[in-house]
Structure 1
Amino acid sequence: MVRVVRVLSVLVLLSVAGCGGPGEGARPSAPSEASGTTTPSASPAPPAPATPDPSPGPTTSEGTVTPSPRPAPSDIDELLEKMTLEEKVGQIIMVGVPVTGELETPAAVIRDHHVANVFLHGRTEAGQAPMRELVDEVTAVGAAANPRDPLMLVATDQEGGLVQVLRGPGFSEIPSAVEQAELSPGELRREARRWGQELADVGVNLNLAPVADVVSRETAASNEPIGAIQRNYGFTLRSVTEGSVAFGAGMRASGVATTPKHFPGLGLTLGNTDTAAKVVDTVTGRDAKSVRAFRGNVEAGAEFVMMSSAYYELIDARNPALFSPAMVRLLRKDLGFDGVVMTDDVSAAAAVQPWPAGERAVRAVEAGVDLVLASADPTTAGPMAEALVTRAKSDPRFADRIDEAAARVLRAKSALG
């Protein structure tokens, strides 16, 4: 049984969602040796032989399964054929793991539902060593739950400024995007590579950044989710594109995949989807500046894109972007994106509360999304997995959509490291 993990000695500052703004409360300090705080033990990843085998590894004398090495991209179709429906569904869910406190809830979700991706949630100033131990512990749970493909996506929010989950010894204090935009693209790329290496050093392989939303200088102060807290790379299409692309290039150079967000843009809204039930954008269309900024990131090689939870009247007035087939088509067909499309947090965000947890996951996947993020409230991930399995068992077309989404996630994983 996975023990309780207490990485920090004081209360954590929790962020509201997987990509949201700053949380509330005081930042924790790093634990001391005399505090009685426990940290998880490290679990080394299994070595990869020359010829990957996507079938489960041999059973040991203790009855546990030794995980097989992750597959090469050419083996993805073969791997999918061997996976159960439940294993496929686990590939398209990402569950939140607190950077302090107990690990039992997300660990149980990972074990029970084969969840293959985690998001480091909250705020910590503990530094690299405790975070490396935490990542080792949770990925060991994931490898045991998914022996056919033991590699997990380990994500966090490391934008800079007020949105930086990991701080303390070994982590830089990353400036806000507004400040980053003052650097030349070359300088920012070099800095982002260093920040990305700090993530890679603790086992994080996916950063839910950069923000590619275009904010108007005149309305920035009233743009609650982005402009008001300086998450934007300046105020022009050029500065946002150059800054977000440079940040992404630096991260990828360190081996960390990136997730431009929040498509098709949150820079012109007044409300915050984390805290407001329905945020509506009445001006962003298919050729908006923000859409063009995302195009720049897609063309530069972004592996993931995060969908907004707002409504966009000029594109699809009936559905929030993360439930909108029209919005996914815009990203796929008009921008040519063939990577992983993921949701913003659909566990605790106010924007998705009108729908039960399971229905949120089904609606997103049905719309064409590949990865469902349940970051702030890990208890919702189980009902989401169950709803996806139930729908796929009764709907062959939806089962095919599960296969398509799982294949994209597996291919993205196979390209890492």
Structure 2
Amino acid sequence: MTLEQRVGQTLMVSSPVTGADADSLYALDTLYVGNIFMAGRSAVGQAGIGAEVAAITGHVSGSRTEGARPFVATDQEGGFVQIMRGPGFAQIPQAIEQGQLSPAELLREATVWGQELAAVGVTVNLAPVLDTVPSAEFAPLNAPIGTFGREFGYTPAAVSSHGLAFAQGMMDAGVEPTVKHFPGLGRVTENTDVSAGVTDGITVRNDTYVAPFRDAVNAGVPWLMISNASYPRIDPNNMAPFSRIIVHDMVRGDLGFKGVIISDDICNAVQVSSVPVSQRGVLFLEAGGTMALCTNQGLMPQMYAGMVDAARTDPAFAATIDAAALLILQQKQAKGLID
């Protein structure tokens, strides 16, 4: 693979679930971006959504990617966060409601939900949420998670038992679950998507709220997503996606995770707006990340160019790109995504 192709493997670009737009196609056809996030909302059901997935994945194949087909991701948590709906898709309840099921029952339900995704060509679900919200009383104040009922419960044990059941169901269906948002968004009051300066001043490196992520890693989950918040008691100098302490030392070191470390969206998120777009992918991979997620396809050219330029001028970063691309290709080979 060329350098440009290797950089592309470390990127995931959004494409509307209702049909690709010009920016998405440019990222895939010209920039060699090798992975797709189906974004937005659609209620047309399996037939229509499956056709859209097939159409967009056709742009990531052949000589441009050396036969490596894309990981296709979506957000299918349930409740307010369910991108794919309509005939052939269950109406998935909020995680707080899923938490009222027994783990065994949730495992059975999640397996069905995963099978529905697999049927339309989705290979990665950016779920489950393993953030622990401290209490039902605090939940309405917790803008990214509790406000939307995205938490499985109010203790790490409840989050772990039900989050792992959800993740195992996805894996049983052949879909890669992604545990998020490490090291946790349950204690913040603002949402990194729409606010800057979002900070968790409580969580520490060996925090009990990290336990669900550790349990998930020990259970073999293949993907882990990094929060965009700041955690000054862990790293006072860097937001989580750009913190080597959090991404490398904690995820790779403390947890022993060997799978794909994906960013949360680092294109549209207001939290990271102070960092030039061209540097966000560079900084995430330098921190130890594997794949940078960009949900504003119009900004992908800036992120891509920054990473290519850095790899051309910095041998150390070129080696970082090589290692990340190799890990992704190994995962694709294991999933049968390399021709």
Of 180, 186, 193, 1:274 maps to: 193
Letter in 2 for 1:120: M
Q: Say whether residues 1:265 and 2:165 are aligned partners.
A: no
2:292 and 2:156 map into 1 onto residues whose CA distance is 29
Percent sequence identity over matched residues? 45
Q: Say whether residues 1:391 and 2:310 are aligned partners.
A: yes
1:399 and 1:215 map into 2 onto residues whose CA distance is 39
Contact 2:177–2:223 (CA under 8 A) maintained in structure 1: yes
Q: Say whether residues 1:289 and 2:208 are aligned partners.
A: yes
Q: Say whether residues 1:326 and 2:245 are aligned partners.
A: yes
1:290 and 1:171 map into 2 onto residues whose CA distance is 32
Root-mean-square deviation (CA, aligned residues, Å) is 1.1
Contact 2:226–2:261 (CA under 8 A) maintained in structure 1: yes
Larger radius of gyration: 1
Question: What residue number does 1:57 align with?
Answer: none
3-state SS of 2:221 partner:
coil
Deviations along 1:134-188, one digit per CA (max 9) or x if unpaired, are: 1111111111463413310000000001100000010000011111111111111
1:333 and 1:102 map into 2 onto residues whose CA distance is 38
Question: What residue number does 2:333 align with?
Answer: 414
Deviations along 1:239-278, one digit per CA (max 9) or x if unpaired, are: 1000110000000000000110000000000110001111
1:322 and 1:410 map into 2 onto residues whose CA distance is 22
Question: What residue number does 1:357 align with?
Answer: 277
Normalized against structure 2, the TM-score is what? 0.96
Shift of the alpha carbon at 1:409? 1.1
Contact 2:195–2:271 (CA under 8 A) maintained in structure 1: yes
Deviations along 1:209-235, one digit per CA (max 9) or x if unpaired, are: 000001111311100000111100111
Question: What residue number does 1:343 align with?
Answer: 263
Q: Say whether residues 1:88 and 2:6 are aligned partners.
A: yes
Normalized against structure 1, the TM-score is what? 0.79
Deviations along 1:295-328, one digit per CA (max 9) or x if unpaired, are: 0111111111000000001100211111100001
Unaligned runs of 5+ in 2: none
Contact 2:226–2:262 (CA under 8 A) maintained in structure 1: yes
3-state SS of 1:379 partner:
coil
2:206 and 2:285 map into 1 onto residues whose CA distance is 25
Question: What residue number does 2:113 align with?
Answer: 195
Letter in 1 for 2:125: N
Shift of the alpha carbon at 1:101? 4.9
1:370 and 1:92 map into 2 onto residues whose CA distance is 6
Unaligned runs of 5+ in 1: 1-82
Of 162, 181, 187, 1:243 maps to: 162
Of 97, 105, 108, 2:15 maps to: 97
Deviations along 1:27-75, one digit per CA (max 9) or x if unpaired, are: xxxxxxxxxxxxxxxxxxxxxxxxxxxxxxxxxxxxxxxxxxxxxxxxx
3-state SS of 1:311 partner:
coil
Shift of the alpha carbon at 1:100? 2.1
Q: Which moved more, 1:95-104 or 1:152-161?
A: 95-104
Q: Say whether residues 1:138 and 2:48 are aligned partners.
A: no
1:316 and 1:254 map into 2 onto residues whose CA distance is 37
Question: What residue number does 1:313 align with?
Answer: 232
Q: Say whether residues 1:129 and 2:69 are aligned partners.
A: no
Shift of the alpha carbon at 1:102? 4.6
Contact 1:196–1:254 (CA under 8 A) maintained in structure 2: yes
Q: Say whether residues 1:214 and 2:149 are aligned partners.
A: no
